[in-house]
């Protein structure tokens, strides 16, 4: 069985687990070990199945828990050299990866894809396992060509829908922060995500999960409505985490 566990998604922390039978990999670890442990337990993930921790970029909401979790689980951390040079998880084993160079961990075939984001060398990951493709793509101001291709090929994709345009512009953030978020190296708004999802909608049974929703500049309802309206996908088929501390398990194949 191939499953994706969305443990956390957003600026309070990000963590996704992809599990094929009794092997799993974790992408990002933005929460403490104890919080992550509790949420993994809730979703029925056996921690001893997790073989590696992959890091997309060095922002705190993606790496805060990397050191403690890698040590507790006794697993290596996979990231590219620039990311490795930009945060300090303490004493852990590293495996160096490069964007657009495929690598393998157990039965997972993984390709890091370039994102556009204000970090040293940020990436997204597309993971092939059990004959299915899974894309985890957040923290990008817009979609790069390889991201588009991966979204087209995905059976399950977490796509960033960080903010609603109007909420961001009318909201409380200072102007420079608004510009950073909305910039080409910031985050994707609901409408941007909707456009990418629509333009790559070749697989009829592809499952879309909206990720990294801002708690100040977005709501799950608005994100789902915008994407449903623009893409024609039925609203109930578009999932996302509903509140802080929410988690989800999605079965990609049985």
Q: Which residues bind Zn ion (CB under 5 A)?
A: 59, 61, 139
Question: What's the chain's length in residues?
Answer: 254
The contacts of residue 74 (CB under 8 Å, 6+ apart) are none
The DSSP code for 192 is H
Q: Closer to Zn ion at the Cβ: 37 or 57?
A: 57
Minimum CB distance to Zn ion, residue 229 (Å): 26
In the bound complex, what is the minimum distance in angstroms from residue 15's beta carbon to Zn ion? 11
For 7, the token pair is 């443990």
| Residue among 61 and 164 whose Cβ is closer to Zn ion | 61
Structural contact between residues 141 and 124, judged by C-beta atoms closer than 8 angstroms: no
Q: How far is the CB of 140 from Zn ion (least distance, A)?
A: 9
Strands 207-211 and 239-240: parallel
Choice between 87 and 156, CB closer to Zn ion: 87
Question: Which residue number, 1 or 177, has a Cβ lying nearer to Zn ion?
Answer: 177
Residue (of 164, 252, 246, 149) closest to 208 by Cα position: 252
Q: How far is the CB of 11 from Zn ion (least distance, A)?
A: 6
DSSP 227: H
Find the residue with minimal CB distance to Zn ion. 59
């Amino acid at each position: 069985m191939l499953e994706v566990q969305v443990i956390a998604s957003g600026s309070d922390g990000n963590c996704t687990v992809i599990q094929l039978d009794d092997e799993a990999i974790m992408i990002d670890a933005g929460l403490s070990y104890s919080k992550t442990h509790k949420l993994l337990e809730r979703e029925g993930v056996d921690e001893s199945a997790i073989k590696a921790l992959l890091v997309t970029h060095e922002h705190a909401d993606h790496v805060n828990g990397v050191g403690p979790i890698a040590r507790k689980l006794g697993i290596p951390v996979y990231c590219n050299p620039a990311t490795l040079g930009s945060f300090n998880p303490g004493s852990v084993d590293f495996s160096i990866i490069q964007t657009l160079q495929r690598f393998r961990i157990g039965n997972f075939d993984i390709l890091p894809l370039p994102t556009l984001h204000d970090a040293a060398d940020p990436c997204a990951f597309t993971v092939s396992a059990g004959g299915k493709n899974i894309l985890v793509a957040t923290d990008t101001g817009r979609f790069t060509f390889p991201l588009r291709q991966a979204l087209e090929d995905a059976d399950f994709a977490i796509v960033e829908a960080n903010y609603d345009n109007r909420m961001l512009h009318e909201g409380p953030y200072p102007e420079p922060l608004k510009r950073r978020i909305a910039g080409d190296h910031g985050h994707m708004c609901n409408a941007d995500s909707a456009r990418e999802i629509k333009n790559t909608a070749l697989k009829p049974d592809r499952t879309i999960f909206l990720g990294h929703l801002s708690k100040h500049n977005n709501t799950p309802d608005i994100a789902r409505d915008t994407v449903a309206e623009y893409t024609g996908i039925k609203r109930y088929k578009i999932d996302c985490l509903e509140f802080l501390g929410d988690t989800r398990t999605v079965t990609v194949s049985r």
